[in-house]
Structure 1
């Protein structure tokens, strides 16, 4: 089924070109002598206008063509004399591929994001979500281009795991046991030996631990896949199912990690504007997002850098009243992070060397025995967008850190082996992909940057 995509017609069309278009109807205006039908096939932020003369045999079919209908047209491309479009198709033949009932919810009027969220299966046809999904697609492609261009190998880490990378315990359990007749052992506890894997298994919260194993064989790797957290949160920043990008580098320290993270983000900011100028322009205009020029500018300048201890001093001296009081040892809140980016630095900033007490066991302990070689990349308006660290490669220190947070080292014997058999300094970070899309598109709610969001009591589609 040969067809020309609307995007290519609008970008590369030529006068008198014969085209075949398959698309959905956005609007229709019919008069006595001529009809104008506006269509879009999802490839472009801009629509394409079709012109049907009254003497065309297809003119009568327009009575059956309503907003939302799928149609095919064969016609000739001509320069448009009307305002708002460069090209239009003068139709020779029109066929209805799929009719649309009168209760089609996407009519030619403004719709709230909340309403569109309730029809997630259709919202991709709207201007807003067409833009968001195309930006999401291009960001995903750019991530692969960046890492592949820097010699990283794409590693596919498990979705089902027996370990909890973060130590948070908020995981979705995977089981084949009959929940109505759970087997019990002699103590009355659930007997997971009878389960599919012979032990408790969960959906992963991170591919990092497996990623470390891959990096300590291949050198530099990255993961890009779905992760899951059973956190009962209904905020605009949390999802139960989301995508993570997690590079790991062998023979690397915290400085290498920061350089990679900054270079990575600056590349994405520069390139996404080149790939999606119309989408970002639309979103910037309608959702008070950054303009494409402002996004690109983020990629042109070095990020700020500050240690956690210095950041606490800055926050303590701030002439603003924070909701959460500031003192050394607290985990920085979003309001603190935004003050650093929006007021102190007025650009993205990397904060380093956090207290060990609220950071993960795998982060390398610093010489002061109070902080770890960790870093967070903070961006204006959002706060944290990347979290990473140099990993603890000293097996005795790692074992103690695990015991301190009540993780049995024997349960991660394979992870300990990575330190026992040719261990080396290594580092990596994690980027929440939806956070990135949210920042670039300006969507206020993270549920609006993934096609079918998963959240507490939300699995409708």
Structure 2
């Protein structure tokens, strides 16, 4: 008997045919006349109900069919006698692949806290919430690759091990084969990395951008989509030590082209998720509504999850400069009443509360801010003629603030080298990066989108550790 995924079975509903379903037991309910078993196989958030008449199954078999057990049922697919689903399976044969001791199985049919489930990252995909998140994550990843392929981009695999710090932040994980207790030392007592595997100090990458620029200045349009790492000792709801970055780089693009691409890109991938994950997003929308009810009225969001997603894809993004945004914020009611946690003035890096005010209160549309002060942005961003700002851009969303950061890249060799000196980067260490300015330099631009930040927004979750299968954070590397 061929096995059909539950998603396909519920969609095609071949009534009065014999089928086999396989999966994990969610619930078992016994009445005087029958046993009702809800089975899920991960292909959909929906379960299929399997029914056996009272006394039909041997008592030893029935005892093994508990929450968490993995089973296969074969039987007739018939119209459902109850409400909630169109069809159900009349059990004729049972195979038990793996029982689950009901005394020890930690996922019982009740509501578990997200904190508790983070301790069970190996089992939490079996819950409705996390199976929905992982299916949405898959759909978004597929949509990313599809979008760039359809728009003439080439997928470039940039190094995970690197000798450069793209951001200049210095918060990197070291990669070494040297003895951890007694590493070789130089005459002045420092670790002698010339004896290391790569002959120099190397780290896990924080970004594929610099190498991505090299690809764009040969292939025209490329994108990277891979793991990145930051050794930032942060336990906030928005930070991970290991996460995935999407970084397109485009030759001959200037800031305006970059903004158009970013807007079209995020709208397209969110639209794909809405079209292909309707059941999962409806579940997550309801979940968020229930969660909002537990908050104080002033802390409740004005928009539900689906409202936020449609808000992004149906509105044209507002474009304005950082300077104009500062004027709006300084003259806003929250600023005048000192309701912002962080004060606003020209030259500060905007906080999430400022970004959300612009999106949710002032414009009521997604926003792209441009032309930030050069002092708060990375060395590689193209400098404006005023000498004070750079051609940077940040895309701001409701509920989350910044979701994309990008810029037109500095293509003037002299300006780039001078800026590197200003921020303490030795140009000799990035000779290969500077070669693209020495030989056939061109205007080019790009942006970065943290994939988990996107999944966080689309699923409506509140903690970034809940949108990656096995989160890596300070003191967290269990699985």
User: TM-score band (shorter)?
Assistant: over 0.9
Distance (whole Å) between structure 1 residues aligned to residue 154 and residue 163 of structure 2: 24
Residue 397 of structure 1: aligned partner: 415
Matched residues in 2 for 1:335 and 1:216: separation?
37
Give 1:173-188 correspondences, 5 Å limit. Answer: 173-188=174-189
8 Å contact kept, 2:355–2:396: yes
Give the CA deviation at 1:259. 0.3
> What's the offset of the Cα at 1:233?
0.4
| Alignment match, 1:245 | 246
Q: Is the 8 A contact 2:26 2:37 kept in 1?
A: yes
Please give the alpha-carbon distance, in whole angstroms, between the structure 1 residues aligned to 2:306 and 2:368. Answer: 23
- The match for 1:271 is 272
**Paired position in structure 2 for 1:11:** 11
- Structure 1 equivalent of residue 104 of structure 2: 103
Provide the rounded CA distance (Å) in 2 between the counterparts of 1:198 and 1:445.
39
- Residue in structure 2 matched with residue 79 of structure 1 by the alignment: 79
Q: Tell me the distance in 2 between the aligned counterparts of 1:2 and 1:146.
A: 35
What residue is the counterpart of 1:454 in the other structure? 472
The alpha carbon displacement at 1:59 in A equals 6.8
Q: Which moved more, 1:84-93 or 1:54-63?
A: 54-63
- Displacement of 1:32 in angstroms is 4.3
User: How many angstroms apart in 2 are the aligned matches of 1:144 and 1:415?
Assistant: 26
Q: CA deviation at 1:200?
A: 0.4
**How many matched pairs?**
461
Following the alignment from structure 2 to structure 1, what is the Cα–Cα distance between the partners of residues 329 and 64?
64
Structure 1 residue 17 displacement after superposition: 2.6
Structure 2 residue 107 is matched with structure 1 residue 89:
no
Counterpart Cα distance in 2 of 1:281 and 1:302: 24
5 Å-filtered alignment, 1:37-436, equals 37-54=37-54, 56=56, 61-101=61-101, 102-288=103-289, 290-292=304-306, 294-320=308-334, 321=338, 322-436=340-454
Report the TM-score when normalising by structure 2: 0.94
Flag structure 1 segments of 5+ consecutive residues without an equivalent.
none
Query: Shift of the alpha carbon at 1:23?
Result: 0.1
SS of the residue aligned with 1:403? helix
Report SS of the residue matched to 1:287: helix
Moved more, 79-88 or 228-237: 79-88
How far apart, in 2, do the equivalents of 1:63 and 1:118 lie? 28
Rounded to whole Å, the distance in 2 between the matches of 1:165 and 1:19 is 55
- Per-residue displacement from partner, 1:41-68 (whole Å, max 9, x unpaired)? 0111111100112464567511221110
Residues in 2 aligned to 1:64 and 1:355: alpha-carbon distance in whole angstroms: 65
Distance in 2, matches of 1:142 and 1:29, equals: 40
What is the alpha-carbon distance in structure 1 between the residues aligned to residue 377 and residue 406 of structure 2?
A: 10
Q: Distance in 2 between matches of 1:379 and 1:193?
A: 46
Shift of 1:293: 5.2
CA distance in 1 between counterparts of 2:5 and 2:218 reads 44
Q: Distance in 1 between matches of 2:174 and 2:459?
A: 33
What's the TM-score once normalised by structure 1's chain length? Answer: 0.98
| CA offset digits 1:111-159 (Å, max 9, x no partner) | 1111111111100000111111111111111111111110111111000
Decide whether the 8 Å contact of 2:73 with 2:92 is kept in 1.
Answer: yes
Partners of 1:323 and 1:138 lie apart in 2 by: 37
- Aligned mates of 1:18, 1:228 — CA distance in 2: 50
Q: Once the 2 structures are TM-superposed, how far is the Cα of residue 380 of structure 1 from its aligned partner? A: 0.7
Q: Would you say the 8 A contact 2:2–2:19 is kept in 1?
A: no
Answer whether contact 2:140 2:270 (CA < 8 A) is retained: no
- Partners of 1:431 and 1:290 lie apart in 2 by 23
> Compared with structure 1, are the counterparts of its residues 294 and 187 closer, same or farther at alpha carbon in structure 2 (3 Å cutoff)?
closer
Consecutive aligned runs of 4 or more in structure 1 exceeding 6 Å deviation? none
Q: C-alpha distance in 1, partners of 2:308/2:405?
A: 24
Per the alignment, residue 296 of structure 2 pairs with none
Asked whether the equivalents of residues 209 and 415 of structure 1 are also in contact (C-alpha less than 8 Å), the reply is yes
**Deviation of the 1:347 alpha carbon:** 1.9
> How many Å separate the matches in 2 of 1:293 and 1:454?
31
Shift of 1:173: 0.4
| Conserved? CA contact 2:155–2:224, under 8 Å | yes
- Structure 1 window deviating more from structure 2 (338-347 vs 309-318): it is 338-347
Give a deviation string over 1:203-234, Cα, whole Å, max 9, x none: 00000001011111111011111000000000
Given that residues 247 and 448 in structure 2 are in contact (C-alpha distance below 8 angstroms), is that contact kept between their aligned partners in structure 1? yes
- Give the Cα–Cα distance (whole angstroms) in 1 for the partners of residues 422 and 174 of structure 2: 25
Aligned partners of 2:312 and 2:397 also within 8 Å: no
